[in-house]
Structure 1
Amino acid sequence: MSFNIDLNYIRNVIFKLIPPTAQLTRLEFEGPEIAIYVKNPAFLLEQTGIISQIAKTIKKRIVIRTDPSIRKRREEVIEYIKSIAPPDTGIEGIEFDDVLGEVVIKAKNPHIIEEKSNQILVYTGWRPRIVRAPPMRSKVFEEVMHGYLSQSEYRLNFLRELGETIHRDVLLAKNGSNYVRVTFLGGAQEVGRSAILVETAESRVLLDFGLNPGRSLSPNAFPRIDLLNIEPDDIDAVIVTHAHLDHCGLVPYLFKYGFRGAVYTTDATRDLMVLLLKDYLEISEREGTEPPFTLRDVEQMLLHTITLKYDVVTDIAPDIRLTLYNAGHILGSAIAHLHIGNGFHNIVYTGDFKFGRTRLLDRANYEFPRVDTIIMESTYGATEQPARDRAEDELIRIVKETYDRGGKVLIPSLSVGRAQEVMLILADAMKQNKLPKIPVYIEGMIHEVTAIHTAYPDLLSKELGQRLKSGENPFDYETFIRLEGREPRTEIVESSEPAIIIATSGMLTGGPAVEYFKLMASNPNHSLVFVSYQVEGTLGRRIRDGAREVAFVNERGKVEVIRIKMQVYSIEGFSGHSDRPQLLEYLRHIEPKPSTAILVHGEKNAVMNLANEISRSRKRLGDINVLTPKILESYTLAYNI
C-alpha cells in the first residue's frame, strides 16, 4: 500500500466499517485527524474497538464528533457530569466549545472521569475533553485554554484547511521521484538559533526556529532563512522540540511574515513556549529594545499550534509522518522522528536531550521503528560532566559555606527545568538537615513555570509524577517564597538574614538575576552559582570565564562599571544535556542503527571532538558516517530522481 492512501479509499473504509446505527452525517479532515460526525454515538458502547480498527486500517488519526442536533443543553450536561463523577474526581470547572461540540472538564484527578468519557459522549452528545487542574494555579495554562475556546471557529477553519493540505495527493513522489535534503539555518558549530530545513519533493518542514541569546538582534541571532530565497508561507510545518528560546524563540517571527501552517509540539512545550515568548517581549519593552515580533504574532502562533502526545504517529504533510518521543531535557521536550515517504528515509532529530535520569525526568527514548539519519546535539561533545550526586553535594556545600560567612547565594537559572531541579534539591537538603531552613526567594516567572510542571505529572519522572498524583506537591516547601514585582530585591539583599535567590535568566542576559547581580557583586561574602550552560557571548559566559569587571548602561544612559568581588562558582553536573560519554552511549544504544550522524548544537571544538571520537569508536558504535555542517550547508540524504 502506498504512503498516501487515496481519499476515496479512506471514505469507503469508514462508510464500510461504521455501523448504520451510528447515523453518520459527514466526514471532515481536521488537521492531522479525520473527524467522523454521527447522530448516534451509542455505537461506541456496542462496538468498543471499531475506531481503533478504522484508524489501523487507514493509518490515520480518528476523532468522533456529534451532530449539533443531538447535543443536550449545557445545564443538563453539567448536572449529568457532576452526578456520575465520584467525589475524589475534584472537578474545578466545566466549559463548552460550541464549534467543536466539546465539553472541557477540568479535574484534579482526570483519570477518574476519563473512564466515563464514552458514557458522557453518548448521554450528552458532547465529546469530553478532560484536562488536569494543577495543584498550583497557572495563569498561562488558563490563558491557553481560554484562547482556544474563544477562537474555536477560527481554529476549526484552520484545521480544515490544514486537513486538505496534509491529505492531498502527492505529485512527484507518486511517480517515484523524491529526495530528502537538510539545510542548517542555525545551530551548526554553535549553540543558539537552532533551525533545520527538511525538504522533500512534496514538502518543506522546519525543525525548530530559535534565537541566539548571545547575539542581541544582529543577523547572527537569526536562522538564515533569508539567504535561501524561501518565504515563510512556503513552509508546510514547524516542529518545536522544546521551550527554550534558542529552539522556539523566533517561531512567532515566521507568523509576522506570512507563515500560516501548523506548529507541532507537546502540550507542555506549548504552554511553556507561550510563557517564555511573552516574557521575552516584556523584557524587551522594559529594556527599550525592539523585539522581532509582537504579542499578536505569539497569539497567532498559539492558534496554529497542534499538540501531540509521545509515541503517537501523526501525518504533518502528504509525505511526512511525525512521532515525538521523550527527550529527557526539560518538561515536554521531544525527540522528533520523521518518516518520509513509504519508508523512503527516516530522520531522528534529538533536539536537546539527556540520556540519563534526573530528579525531574526519565532518560531519553532510544528505540524507533526505523532510523537512517540521526541529527544529534553535541553541546558537551568535548566534556564529561560530574556525576549528578556530586553536583548536588557541591551545591549544598557552597550554600552552607556562604551561609556560615553571612552571605547570600544567587543562582541564575533557566526558568524551565533547572530552577525546578534546584528547588527539589534544596527542599530535600533542608528536610534531611543537610542545610538549615534558609528562605528561598523565587521570582514570579519561575513560579509560573513550576505550576505548569504540576499540570503534567505524566511527563515527569515516574517517582515525581506519582508524588504529584498522590496529592503531594514537592515544589511547595515551607521556606520557598514567591516574589512578584521588583520592589523587594534591594530589601532582600541588604537584609542581615540569610537567603537563597533563584532568578532568571540563567545566562545573565536580562531579567531579575541581572538586577540581583548588580546589587550583590561587590560583597565578597555573597556567592554567584551558575548551574546552566553559558552560551558564548553572554554576560554569564564572560563572568564564568574570569571577567571581574563588567559594564552596564544604567537607566540614565550612562555606563556603569560593576566590580565583581562575590564568589563565582560554576556547577556543570546539573545540565539537561548529555555529556560526551552519554552521547556516545546513546549512539551505542539507539535502535535501529543509523548510517549517518549529523552533529549540531555545539561549539566547533565540541562538535569536532565528538566527531573524532565517533569515528574512532566504530567497533563499539557501528559504521556511522559523521557529518559536521556549517551554517547554510546542505546535505542530500536520499534521492530517487
Structure 2
Amino acid sequence: MTSEILEDTKKTIMKKLPDDAQVAKVEFEGPEVVIYTKNPEIITENGDLIRNLAKDIRKRIIIRSDKSVLLDPEKTIDKIHEIVPEGAEITNIYFDDITCEVVIEAKKPGLVIGKYGATSRKVVKNTGWAPKILRTPPISSEIIGKVRTILKNNSKERKKTLQELGRRIHQGTKYESDWARVTSMGGFKEVGRSCMLLQTPNSRVLLDCGVNVAAPDDKGSYPYLNVPEFSIDELDAVIISHAHLDHCGFLPYLYHYGYEGPVFCTTPTRDLMTLLQLDYIDIAHREDNPLPFNVKHVQKSIKHTITLDYGEVTDISPDIRLTFHNAGHILGSAMSHMHIGDGQHNLVYTGDFKYERSRLLEPATNRFPRAETVIMESTYGGHEDVQPSRNSAEKEMMKTIYKTLKRGGKVLVPVFAVGRAQELMVVLEEYMRHGMIDEVPIYIDGMIWEATAIHTARPEYLSKDLRDQIFHMGRNPFISDAFHKVQNINQRMELVEGEPSIILSTSGMLTGGNSVEYFKWLSEDERNTLIFVGYQSEGSLGRRIQKGWKEVPLQDEGKTKVFNVKMEIKTINGFSGHSNRRQLMEYVKRLNPKPEKVITCHGDPYKAVDLASSIHRSFKIETKTPINLDSTRIQ
C-alpha cells in the first residue's frame, strides 16, 4: 500500500514541477516527502510552488540535492564564507553525507538565512548542499552540544528509522476511523506521572510519559504501562507536551522496553528534556536508588525524536495529524491538536499551560481549526485557587529584596531550574537595570545555568517583548553582567561570607541540591531572607519551613545538626507557570471553537472534579473526570 501511495505522490509532484527540474528520487522520510534533485535551485527558488505542492499532497516537503551534484566539502566551506556576511559570526560548519545537508552554526542565524531565505538559497545554488542553520547559544550549552553530536554521529541510523516511519505513516488506513478512546495511565486525579494512550481503529499514540518523583515507591512513581490496551509493539508514536519530569521522565524506559518508534516534541522540549532526564539519572545514582533505564536509553530517545515548530502540521500515524500550539507553561511547552481520521474528530491535549502573558512567554493558544474534545490540566482548578497578579507578585518580591539588602542580608530563592528561574532572572535584571533595587551580584547555582543556556539558543520561543529586546535592541537579559555562575564549593563559601547578594539555586522545594547547603549557611542570621516562589509539596523541607518550623534537623558533615531558623521566611505566589482557577475558566470560555467535551487531568481529585463541574454549569459543556486505568470514548 505504501509503494502505491508513494507512486501516486511522485506523479502529482512531477506534474507540478517545472519541466527542467531533474528529479533523481522521491522518498518518504518520517512524516516528510523528500525530493532529491540534480538542480535544486530550480525548485528552491520558487517558494510558492513548494507551498502549493505541499497543500495539494497534504504533506511536508523537503528539497535535497542528489549526491552527484554536491560540491567538494572544503570548497563548500570557502563558498559559504564568501556568500554569508561576516556579521553572521559562523562558529562551525560540518556535513551530513546521508541527508546531503551542510550544518551551519552561527551566532546570528538570520543572516545565514537572509531576507526571505535569499542567502541560504544562494548556498544551495552554488554548492548543492542544503543548509541546515542552527543558532550558536550566547551561553555555551553542554546539552545542546551533546544532542547535536548524537544526531551528527547517528545520521545513517536515523535516516533508516525515518524511512521505516515513513512507510508506517503512509501505509494507508485499514479500517474506517469511526471511534477514538483515551486510556488514563497516569496523572488523572493526581499530579505526577502524566501518561495517556490515544487509540483509534488504525493508531496507538502515547501522550506524555512522566514520573512522580515525590512518590514513596515505584508503584506510585511510574505510569500504568501494564494496562491491557497498551502494547509497545503496536505503539505508533509518543508525543511529549513539555520537558518537566512528570511529563517526560519515563520516556527512556520505553526504549529500554523495546520501543523503536518516534517521539514528537518541540526543539526546546527535546533539549530541556535531555537535561532533566540526565539529571534524574545522576541523582538516582548518587542516592543509590537505580532507575529502570540509563543514559544510553536517553541517547536512543534523542535519535528517535522528531522536532516540530508551533503551527507545523504533521502526519504521525495512518489516521492522526498533529499540530503543536504554544502552551505558555515553560520554554517549548506545547498543546497538541490531533486531527483524527479524515476530519471525524479533533482532540486537543493542553498539557500544563498558562493563560496569561508572562515575562518569559506568550499566553497559551485558545484558537484551533476544530476541537470536539479538550483534555486539560486542573492543577489549580479548585475555586479557592486564586493567585495574585504577576505584577503584584513582582512588586512584593522587589520590596522584600530591597529591605533585605538594606539591612545587609542575602536573599536565597530556591527555584525550579526550568521556567521559574528564567522568569525571575528577567524580572531581577530589569528592576536592577532601572535602579529599583541595589546593584548586587545575582548568583546562579545548580542546573539553572545550563537550562538558561538552552533558553538563549531558542529566543524565537520567548515572549514578544523578550524577542524585541534580543533581536531589535541588542539586549539579552540572560547574559547580563549581573549574573554570576557558581561552579564549586569554594565559590559558595566565598559568596556566603561576602557582601549582600541574591542567590537563585536548585532545588525548588529544598529536597536536595545546593539550595539546602545555602539554607544551612544562611538560616541563623536574621538579616537574610528565604523567598519561596513555587509549590512546596507535603513532606518537603520547604513545606516544613513554610509552616513555621524554627528548629530544623539536617545532616551536616555526616552528623545530624539542628539549625535555628532566624532568617526571614517569605512565600510569594503569582510566579506559577500554571493557570489559576480564574484563568482556567476564562480559557474554556474563550476556546474557539467551543468544545463538545472537556476531560480534566493533572490535578488533585477535588480540584479536577471542582473544575469539571464548574465548566459544565457555566458553559453547558459535557465534562468527565476519569481516574487512572479508566478508558474514555471521545468519539
| Pairwise TM-score range, normalised by the shorter structure | over 0.9
Could you give the per-residue CA deviations for residues 497-554 of structure 1, whole angstroms, max 9, x where no partner exists?
A: 2121101121223222223233333444332211122344544344434455555566
Structure 1 contact 135–473 (Cα < 8 Å) conserved: no
User: Is the Cα–Cα contact under 8 Å of residues 155 and 303 in structure 1 kept in the other structure?
Assistant: yes
Amino acid paired to 2:244: H
Is 1:343 paired with 2:340?
Answer: no
Q: CA deviation at 1:491?
A: 3.8
Change (3 A) 1:298 1:461: same
Correspondence 1:267-306 to 2 at 5 A: 267-306=267-306
Letter in 2 for 1:577: H
> Do the aligned partners of residues 415 and 65 (structure 1) sit closer, same or farther apart at CA in structure 2, a change above 3 Å counting?
same
Q: Which moved more, 1:304-313 or 1:464-473?
A: 464-473
Give the match's secondary structure for 2:489: coil
Is contact 2:36–2:66 with CA below 8 Å preserved after alignment?
Answer: yes
Residue type at the aligned position of 1:613:
S
Q: Report the counterpart of residue 377 of structure 1 in structure 2.
A: 377
Q: Measure, in 2, the Cα distance between the counterparts of 1:347 and 1:490.
A: 52
Quick check: 1:255–1:297 contact (8 Å CA) kept in 2?
Answer: yes
Distance change (3 Å), C-alpha of 1:90 and 1:581:
same
Q: What is the match of residue 148 of structure 2?
A: 145
Structure 1 counterpart of 2:513? 511
How big is each residue's C-alpha offset from its partner over 1:391-436, in whole Å with a ceiling of 9 and x where there is no partner?
Answer: 0011112222222343322111111111111112112222222211
Q: Does 1:399 align with 2:401?
A: yes
Q: Secondary structure at the match of 2:226?
A: helix
What secondary structure does 1:617 align onto? Answer: helix
Question: 1:80/1:282 Cα in 2 relative to 1: closer, same or farther (>3 Å)?
Answer: same
Name the counterpart of 2:463: 461
Contact 1:22/1:42 (8 A) holds in 2: no
Distance, in Å, in 1 between the alignment partners of 2:133 and 2:159 is 19
The 8 Å contact of residues 403 and 498 in structure 1, kept in 2 or not, is answered as yes
Q: CA deviation at 1:255?
A: 1.0
Where structure 1 has 5 or more consecutive residues not aligned to the other structure, the ranges are: none
Distance 2:537 2:340 in 1: 34
- 1:331-362: per-residue Cα shift (whole Å, max 9, x none)? 11111101110111111111111111011111
* Aligned-partner Cα distance in 1 for 2:146–2:439: 35
Provide the residue aligned with 2:14 in structure 1: 15
Corresponding position of 1:136:
139
1:611 lines up with 2:608 in the alignment: no
How far is 1:137 from its partner?
A: 1.6
Paired with 2:298 and 2:280, the residues of 1 have a C-alpha distance of: 11
C-alpha distance 434-555 of structure 1, shift in aligned 2 (>3 A)? same
Q: Distance between the aligned counterparts of 2:24 and 2:201, measured in 1?
A: 36
CA distance in 1, matches of 2:537, 2:173: 42
Contact 1:185 1:196 in 2 (8 A): yes
1:186-265 alignment to 2 at 5 Å? 186-228=186-228, 230-265=230-265
Check conservation: 2:6, 2:27, Cα contact below 8 A.
no
Q: Distance in 2 between matches of 1:612 and 1:601?
A: 16
Asked if the contact 1:24–1:36 (Cα under 8 Å) also holds between the matched residues in 2, the reply is yes
Structure 2 distance, partners of 1:164, 1:553, is: 57
Does the 8 Å CA contact 1:410/1:529 hold for their aligned counterparts?
A: yes
Alignment-derived partner of residue 452 in structure 2: 450
Q: Aligned equivalents of 1:377 and 1:426: distance in 2?
A: 30
Deviates more, 1:426-435 or 1:357-366: 426-435
Shift of 1:496: 4.8
| 1:93-121 Cα distance to aligned partner (Å, 9 max, x none) | 21111111100111222222212222211
Q: Which residue of 2 aligns with 1:587?
A: 588
Structure 1 residue 559, shift from structure 2 partner = 5.6
Q: Distance in 2 between matches of 1:547 and 1:52?
A: 63
**1:305-454 equivalence runs, <5 A:** 305-382=305-382, 383-454=385-456
Q: Is 2:632 aligned against 1:629? A: no
1:532 aligned to 2:534? yes
> Equivalents in 1 of 2:213, 2:544: separation in Å?
14
| TM-score when normalising by structure 2 | 0.94
Which residue does the alignment assign to 2:96? 97
Shift of 1:53: 2.1
| Partner SS, residue 163 of structure 2 | helix
Instruction: Indicate if the aligned counterparts of 1:109 and 1:469 stay in contact, CA closer than 8 A.
Output: no
Unaligned regions of 5+ residues in structure 2, if any? none
CA contact (8 A) 1:314 1:323 kept: yes
Q: Say if 1:480 and 1:207 are closer, same or farther in 2 by CA, change over 3 A.
A: same
Counterpart CA distance in 2 for 1:636 and 1:539 is 42
In structure 1, the partner of 2:87 is 88
Aligned equivalents of 1:258 and 1:425: distance in 2? Answer: 45
User: CA 1:279–1:46 in 2, change beyond 3 Å: closer, same or farther?
Assistant: closer
Counterpart CA distance in 2 for 1:627 and 1:232 is 27
* Cα distance in 2 between the residues matched to 1:47 and 1:20: 14
User: Which sits farther off after the overlay, 467-476 or 535-544?
Assistant: 535-544
Separation in structure 1 between the aligned mates of residue 342 and residue 564 of structure 2, nearest angstrom = 61
How many residues of Structure 1 are paired with residues of Structure 2 in the alignment? 626
Letter in 2 for 1:632: L
Alignment partners' CA distance in 2, 1:102 and 1:216: 48
Aligned pair 1:74/2:69, yes or no?
Answer: no
TM-score between both structures, scaled by the size of structure 1: 0.93
Name the aligned partner's letter for residue 242 of structure 1.
Answer: H
Please tell me whether the aligned partners of residues 191 and 535 of structure 1 are also in contact (alpha carbons under 8 angstroms).
Answer: no
> Contact (CA 8 Å) 1:193, 1:210: kept in 2 or not?
yes
CA RMSD of aligned residues (A): 2.0
8 Å contact from structure 1 (residues 265, 307) kept in 2: yes
Q: Which amino acid aligns with 2:189?
A: Q
Which whole-Å CA distance do the structure 2 matches of 1:394 and 1:64 have between them? 54
The match for 1:500 is 502
Residue 599 (structure 2) aligns with: 598
CA distance in 2, matches of 1:225, 1:163: 26
Q: Deviations over 1:1-55 (max 9, x none)?
A: xxx9944422221232233422212121111111111112132256442222221
CA distance in 2, matches of 1:5, 1:628: 43
> Sequence identity, in percent?
47
Distance in 1 (alpha carbons) for counterparts of 2:306 and 2:561: 46
Pairwise CA distance, 1:560: 5.5
Counterpart Cα distance in 2 of 1:129 and 1:305: 17
Deviations 1:155-214 (A, max 9, x none): 1111111111111121122xxx63211111111111111111111111111111111121
Give the drift of 1:235: 1.9
- What amino acid does structure 1 have at the position aligned with 2:179? Y
Other structure's SS at 2:171 match: coil
1:65 equivalenced with 2:64 (yes/no): yes
Query: Does structure 2 conserve the Cα–Cα contact (< 8 Å) formed by 1:204 and 1:234?
Result: yes
Distance (Å, rounded) in 2 between the aligned partners of 1:205 and 1:386: 38
Paired with 1:637 and 1:59, the residues of 2 have a C-alpha distance of 25
Stretch deviating more after TM superposition (15-24 or 374-383): 15-24
Distance in 1 between the 2:544 and 2:171 partners?
52
Among 529, 543, 546, the residue aligned to 1:544 = 546
Structure-2 change in CA distance of 1:555 and 1:628 (3 Å): farther
Deviation at 1:224, TM superposition (A): 1.4
Distance 1:241 1:547, change over 3 A: farther
Structure 1 residues 46, 337: closer, same or farther in 2, change over 3 A?
Answer: closer
Question: How far apart in 1 are the matches of 2:610 and 2:546?
Answer: 22
